[in-house]
């Protein structure tokens, strides 16, 4: 068990170090740009996972608070995002890191989306603002696109609505 914990600790340190190294690189060599881009892809995955984590934890937190208040108990402490997330890479599972200033903001946005304080469009817009700042921090040539899964879900919903409208228009044709 000690070996496994030590390997995990090294992987976490490596994830944080990789992000910080990428953010510190300011050259335009092919290798530097490729490294920053790779860390950018990991950061995108990290932000998406933190958004989902925020939605899950804050949704659960609100339920627990309702029960605690009903029982006359104290509210539990507000949840926080994990500093590290996991992602699938070419060599298997890896850890990702994004500074807390970005992660906390996306975590809260996930919670606001889950509790319907903001809609999907606003969640995408605000999370993309954070992703743009991460992209700037990493000096990426193109900003990373966050919450693609939610964008796809919205596009599918809009596609379903327009298909239903077209079907309705065809059946009510002039005859």
CB 159 within 8 A of CB 125: no
Task: Give the structural domain span for 16.
Answer: 2-157
Say if 174 falls within a structural domain. Answer: no
Inside any domain, residue 20: yes
Average pLDDT, the chain: 91
Q: What is the pTM of this model?
A: 0.86
Instruction: Please count the structural domains in the chain.
Output: 1
Q: Report the 10 Å Cβ neighbour count for 13.
A: 12
Of 27-31, 41-45, 155-159, 164-168, the one with minimum mean pLDDT is 164-168
Which has more pLDDT, 4 or 123? 123
Residues in the chain: 175
Residues 6+ apart with CB under 8 A from 7: none
pLDDT band for position 158 (cuts 50, 70, 90): confident
Q: Is residue 103 part of a domain?
A: yes
Summarised one tens digit per residue, pLDDT across range 58-78 is 999 999 999 999 999 999 999
Task: Answer yes or no: is 148 within a domain.
Answer: yes
Helix (H) or strand (E) holding 86: strand 84-89
Position 69 in a domain: yes
**Residue 166 belongs to some domain of the structure:** no
- Is the predicted pLDDT of residue 175 greater than 70, yes or no? no
Predicted pLDDT of residue 5: 81
Range name among 13-17, 56-60, 88-92, 116-120 with the lowest pLDDT average: 88-92
């Amino acid at each position: 068990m000690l070996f496994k914990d030590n390997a995990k600790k090294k992987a976490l340190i490596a994830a944080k170090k990789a992000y910080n190294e990428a953010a510190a690189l300011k050259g335009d060599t092919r290798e530097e740009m490729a490294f920053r881009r790779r860390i950018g892809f990991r950061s995108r995955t990290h932000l998406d996972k933190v958004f989902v984590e925020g939605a899950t934890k804050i949704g659960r937190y609100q339920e627990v608070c309702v029960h605690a208040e009903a029982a006359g108990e104290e509210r539990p402490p507000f949840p926080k995002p994990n500093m590290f997330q996991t992602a699938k890479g070419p060599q298997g599972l890896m850890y990702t890191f994004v500074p807390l200033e970005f992660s906390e903001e996306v975590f809260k946005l996930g919670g606001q989306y889950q509790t319907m304080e903001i809609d999907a469009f606003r969640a995408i817009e605000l999370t993309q603002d954070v992703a743009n700042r991460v992209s700037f921090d990493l000096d990426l040539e193109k900003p990373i696109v966050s919450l693609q899964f939610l964008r796809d879900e919205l596009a599918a919903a809009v596609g379903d609505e327009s298909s239903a409208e077209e079907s309705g228009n065809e059946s009510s044709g002039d005859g």
